[in-house]
């Protein structure tokens, strides 16, 4: 499965899609990018006159690239977009630097384990200067969509 096929299987759309491109993916990890557009709605109030990307959005970006994209890749042909989903079950993230509108970030994820439908990854986010913005562990489950 190539990067474009993985992106097409993501269950998100704008304005809640936080993946622009995948630079590398294999059974051990993934690397991808996202640039935060200045017109994103959350910048209007976080913080007034000094917009900063909320930590929950940074975490979501790390999860979309580092957990969901990797999960889709690992599932391969088992993942029929309509039947399965990768959902975050836990995370521990340390935030080290702010991310501002128009900043491009690079997310790198390394698989810790994938067994019994649970995926755990060590994930870091860097800015274009190569500085670590945040890092931590994110885990998720592969689940069947039951409400359809």
- The active-site residue, picked from 46, 81, 92, 147, is 46
Are the CB atoms for 82 and 148 separated by under 8 Å?
yes
Nearest partner of 123 among 133, 112, 137, judged by Cα = 137
Q: Are 121 and 136 in contact (CB under 8 A)?
A: no
Q: What are the tokens at 135?
A: 């890092």
Residue spans of beta strands (DSSP E) within the chain: 21-26, 29-35, 84-95, 104-115, 118-127, 132-144
Whether 46 is a known active-site residue: answer yes
As annotated, the active-site residues are 46
């Amino acid at each position: 499965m190539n990067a474009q096929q993985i992106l097409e299987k993501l269950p998100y759309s704008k304005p809640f899609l936080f993946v622009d491109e995948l630079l590398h993916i294999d059974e051990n990890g993934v690397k991808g990018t996202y640039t935060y557009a200045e017109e994103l709605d959350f910048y209007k109030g976080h913080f007034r006159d000094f917009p900063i990307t909320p930590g929950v959005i940074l975490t979501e970006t790390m999860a979309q690239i580092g957990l969901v994209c990797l999960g889709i890749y690992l599932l391969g042909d088992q993942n029929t977009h309509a039947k399965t989903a990768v959902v975050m079950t836990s995370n521990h993230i340390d935030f080290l630097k702010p991310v501002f509108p128009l900043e491009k970030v690079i997310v790198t994820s390394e698989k810790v384990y994938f067994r019994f439908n649970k995926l755990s990854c060590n994930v870091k986010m860097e800015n274009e200067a190569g500085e670590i913005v945040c890092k931590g562990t994110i885990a998720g489950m592969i689940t069947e969509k039951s409400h359809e």
